[in-house]
Amino acid sequence: MTLSQHHLPKRILVTGGAGYIGSHFCKALAQEGIEPVVIDNLSRGHKDAVKWGPLEVADLRDREAVMRVLTRHEIEAVVHFAALAYVGESMVRPQLYYDNNLGGMSVLMSALAATGVNKIVFSSTCATYGIPDHLPITEETPQNPINPYGRTKLVSEWMLRDAAAASDLRYAALRYFNAAGADSEAEIGERHLPETHLIPLALMAAFGSAPPLKLFGTDYDTPDGTCIRDYIHVEDLARAHLLALSHLESGGDSLAVNLGTGTGASVREVIDAVTAVSGRSVPYELAPRREGDPAALVADPTRAFEILGFRARLRDLNRMVEDAMPWFQVETERV
């Protein structure tokens, strides 16, 4: 039996649990002795990443299916990861994002209300802040998203806030900065299809399973001219969700908090880390700025510590790359 410091509900539904962050969270739940129920339409996820409990293959916009899953498994709380999450894709297919992310959110929330489930942890994002007027970004920084993806997440936060004001629903909106790394036992990894994220693409370029990395923009107003992001280890993110659930289960108030380390790394620093850890050079070419990319996004992580006692532990960029790498080596061998 697990001796957990967390006070967790026993029957938890994980939407998007076949995806990158959701599957890592499911493993963290299993380590707490809880068997998560996953609902995922597998549009972007992987069946074989659901290893710790049942998988219900269904779209969140299918109200009947969602109601059936909530009732059949006697769900007490939901952790809602399911969404489309590519900034670039959202700029060219905005309706797809509004339909999927807000349609899914709306059906999920009405099904929760209908079945009396009143605790939800929600995957929000630093993309809700847009181009911040100062760094680091606190939760008081104005939320002015600059792309449809970020807007769907901001509206989702508003939906939660309004529902909580009008009912007994309590929520935790977790605004992640850049998720990075992977399960240290390499049982699951980062597998976005297509992959657009920096660390995976840099590793794939180093191992020759992807073309040279395109370095998007070298003329930003940052020390080395490349964009700065706050990379947070996916295992730290998973632990933060346990803490958020535990907070809600103990009767804590609704909250919105940043999840980051408080330290930024530039694209060039990421390339250096991948070079150092892999022992291979990262072939790259300079490319124009990518539309919709703010120059620098770094979290002020104070509030998450104050309310949840959360502080990122696996803070070292090399460690994140090290944990991500085996998966890409395996992938390379499979190709």
Ligand X SMILES: O=c1ccn([C@@H]2O[C@H](COP(=O)(O)OP(=O)(O)O[C@H]3O[C@H](CO)[C@H](O)[C@H](O)[C@H]3O)[C@@H](O)[C@H]2O)c(=O)[nH]1
Ligand Y SMILES: NC(=O)c1ccc[n+]([C@@H]2O[C@H](COP(=O)([O-])OP(=O)(O)OC[C@H]3O[C@@H](n4cnc5c(N)ncnc54)[C@H](O)[C@@H]3O)[C@@H](O)[C@H]2O)c1
**Which residue type occupies 273?**
A
Nearer to ligand X, 18 or 69 (CB): 18
Residue 171's DSSP bridge partners are 120
Query: Nearest approach, Cβ of 267 to ligand Y (angstroms)?
Result: 15
Among 123, 143, 226, 246, binds ligand Y (CB under 6 A): 123
Do 51 and 40 form a contact (C-beta atoms < 8 A)? Answer: no
Nearer to ligand X, 65 or 304 (CB): 304
Nearer to ligand X, 107 or 227 (CB): 227
- Residue 258 is a binding residue for ligand Y (CB under 6 A): no
Active site residue 149: yes
Structure tokens at 271: 């390339």
Q: With 0-12 CB in 10 A as exposed, 13-18 as middle and 19+ as buried, what is 57?
A: middle
21 binding partner (options ligand X, ligand Y, none; Cβ < 5 to 8 Å by kind): ligand Y
- Residue 41 is a binding residue for ligand X (CB under 6 A): no
- Residue 261 is a binding residue for ligand Y (CB under 6 A): no
Among 11-19, 42-50, 195-203, 251-259, which window interacts with ligand X (CB under 6 A)? 195-203
Q: Which 56-75 residues touch ligand Y, going by CB under 6 A?
A: 59-61
18 binding partner (options ligand X, ligand Y, none; Cβ < 5 to 8 Å by kind): ligand Y
The whole-angstrom separation of Cα 271 and Cα 198 is 9
Nearer to ligand Y, 208 or 245 (CB): 245
Do 70 and 15 form a contact (C-beta atoms < 8 A)? Answer: no
Do 64 and 34 form a contact (C-beta atoms < 8 A)? Answer: no
User: Distance between alpha carbon 56 and the CA centroid of its chain, in Å?
Assistant: 20
Catalytic residue among 149, 171, 176, 284: 149
Q: Which 248-267 residues touch ligand X, going by CB under 6 A?
A: 267
Q: Which 69-108 residues touch ligand X, going by CB under 6 A?
A: 85-87
- Residue 41 is a binding residue for ligand Y (CB under 6 A): yes
Helices (H), the chain: 20-31, 63-72, 87-92, 94-97, 103-115, 148-166, 198-207, 234-249, 267-278, 302-308, 317-334
Q: Residue 66 in 3-state DSSP?
A: helix
Do 263 and 297 form a contact (C-beta atoms < 8 A)? Answer: no
Residue nearest to ligand X (CB): 227
Do 87 and 42 form a contact (C-beta atoms < 8 A)? Answer: no
Query: Nearest approach, Cβ of 193 to ligand Y (angstroms)?
Result: 9
Among 37, 50, 83, 105, binds ligand Y (CB under 6 A): 83
- Residue 321 is a binding residue for ligand Y (CB under 6 A): no
Nearer to ligand Y, 104 or 292 (CB): 104
Residues belonging to the active site: 149
